[in-house]
Chains A and B, each alone.
Chain A
């Protein structure tokens, strides 16, 4: 998977850009607040249709403008596709090869990326929602139809919560509970299947990156079981929680309340982990995602690294860059200073300077 070029119009502070990329290493550098992360965000948007900074559509448009546009040519296997996203104040208009898509999920899968950003470190330690988001975004890159299932569940959940708030009787609640059980157990199943596939990659890479002998694990808050049992399990939980749900006016069981626990030596990283362990963990989780995508699609995904060098100590940085160098795929990285790069990167990479929203290809400047 290669991003051949990228054109931007009125995207945040990047008013106009037309960039041809290197098929291996792309180093985006410049002072802070010039637009480096905006550029990375635009690339991410092509793969996820969402900002990784939680920004809504209209925040992506330059304040002086009404609309913005992101266009790119990507190569998938041997085929090139033209991807475009028109951004208006009230929505997005994604197109593939000039054709408008019927469903957003059709757009996903044309350009698979894995993002590494220090902002996500807080997810490892923070609220369960952050960890669910990490997991769900990873699944979406392997299975676009997962988006339809998540959207369906979300709709059922909101309808059911509304009824609970209104103190509706059991009879009115029943069809929504049934729909919640059907769609919710399906999402739990998807998540478990994915984690099971990810785990061996994850354990291997955690040891390589961390360089230590610690054993690592991923634990989903619901025990693994076949889909039919998951369905019965969720139905049973909702039955037990029925009284409390009515009191609180909220759905209290389902994939929207599950958690993903990161374990080191069998202990939860949330409670006991050091900063260093949390970083290694996030990197290993992402790296495992990369390895899984390579196995699933016989092609490496594009890696997006946002200001990562500043967050890692030298030893981890070295281990991590070694991991990257051994991949065949395309890499984009942003950095305020020219990062500590090894010779192969300097030799084969391309450098792009971002200054006040202008992007220019340059030769490497050693910082």
Chain B
């Protein structure tokens, strides 16, 4: 049925490529756009084009940016002896939202996963090491995800950084704030018990 309206079908097909969006949602979104005033559709199209045109990865930390180096790397107020390594820009944003970290960042753009054909050369690991070799950093906080792949990446980095004589730390595991112990899954409780500390 959609085939008889090629421009509509094309938009649905493009929208259905989004993560978490299937054909039904794509069709709903297309109808929504169809009913919008002309200026609205143009604004959306323009925003998408601008995003592609204006952003790139920072040549220092590989976060998304419009200026190179990025605002975070250029900020003189940040602690330049402390570096936090994350898998994806989303993780960086999550840490920034918490306002708990005042150092600099490095985005790997993934984690080691041989089954997916992702090795060290596919991640921003070589630029990380050359950054560290330039000196100045006293601590590297590894904040890769708590998955099998994220853990292995953390161990790999720790071994790689060790000869440089810089302190390497890993984000702590534990119980989410505001949650009651009885509702936390066993694997998390297990790791929290293993990682207990004196008060």
Interface residues of A (CB under 8 A from B): 102-103, 106, 144-145, 148-149, 152, 155-156, 158-160, 162-163, 166, 168, 171-172, 174-176, 178-179
Contacts and interface: CB of A to CB of B under 8 A. Distances in A.
Given A155-B148, A171-B156, A174-B156, 18 more contacts: A102-B185, A145-B186, A145-B190, A148-B186, A149-B187, A152-B148, A156-B148, A156-B152, A159-B149, A160-B114, A163-B114, A171-B160, A172-B112, A172-B156, A175-B155, A175-B156, A175-B159, A176-B152
Given A145-B186, A171-B159, A174-B156, A162 B115 contact: yes
A145 B191 CA distance: 13
Nearest to A162: B114
B174 interface: no
Nearest to A164: B114
A41 to B, nearest CB: 28
Contacts of B186: 144-145, 148
A326 B84 CA distance: 62
B151 A172 contact: no
11 contacts: A158-B115, A160-B114, A162-B114, A162-B115, A166-B114, A168-B114, A168-B119, A172-B156, A175-B152, A176-B114, A179-B152
Contact of B120 (A106, A159, A160, A172): A172
**9 nearest A-B pairs in the assembled complex, by CB-CB distance:** A175-B155, A162-B114, A145-B186, A175-B152, A175-B156, A155-B148, A163-B114, A159-B114, A162-B115
Nearest to B147: A155
Interface SS of B by simple majority: helix
Nearest to B154: A175
Contacts of B160: 171
Interface string B126-170: 000000000000000000000011011111100110000000000
Size bracket, chain B contacts: 20 to 34
A174 B153 CA distance: 11
A175 B148 contact: no
A163 B120 CA distance: 12
B90 interface: no
B193 to A, nearest CB: 13
B67 interface: no
Contacts of B187: 145, 148-149
B113 interface: yes
A251 to B, nearest CB: 12
A159 B159 contact: no
Contacts of B115: 158-159, 162
A152 B188 CA distance: 13
B149 A174 contact: no
A106 B113 CA distance: 27
A280 to B, nearest CB: 36
Contacts of A163: 114
Interface centre among B152, B155, B160 (most CB of A within 10 A): B152
Contacts of B151: 175, 179
Contacts of B152: 156, 159, 175-176, 179
Contacts of B185: 102-103, 106
A152 B185 CA distance: 15
A172 to B, nearest CB: 7
Contacts of B155: 174-175, 178-179
Contacts of A172: 112, 119-120, 156
A162 B115 CA distance: 6
A133 to B, nearest CB: 22
B106 to A, nearest CB: 18
Of residues A166, A174, A176, A179, which shows the largest number of chain B Cβ atoms within 10 Å of its Cβ?
A176
Contacts of A176: 114, 152
Interface in B106-127: 112-115, 119-120
B120 A175 contact: no
A172 B153 CA distance: 10
B114 A175 contact: no
A159 B190 CA distance: 24
A162 B154 CA distance: 19
Contacts of A178: 155
Interface in B79-123: 112-115, 119-120
A187 to B, nearest CB: 14
A158 B114 CA distance: 9
Contacts of A144: 186
A162 B120 CA distance: 14
A160 B148 CA distance: 11
Contacts of B154: 175
Contacts of B113: 159
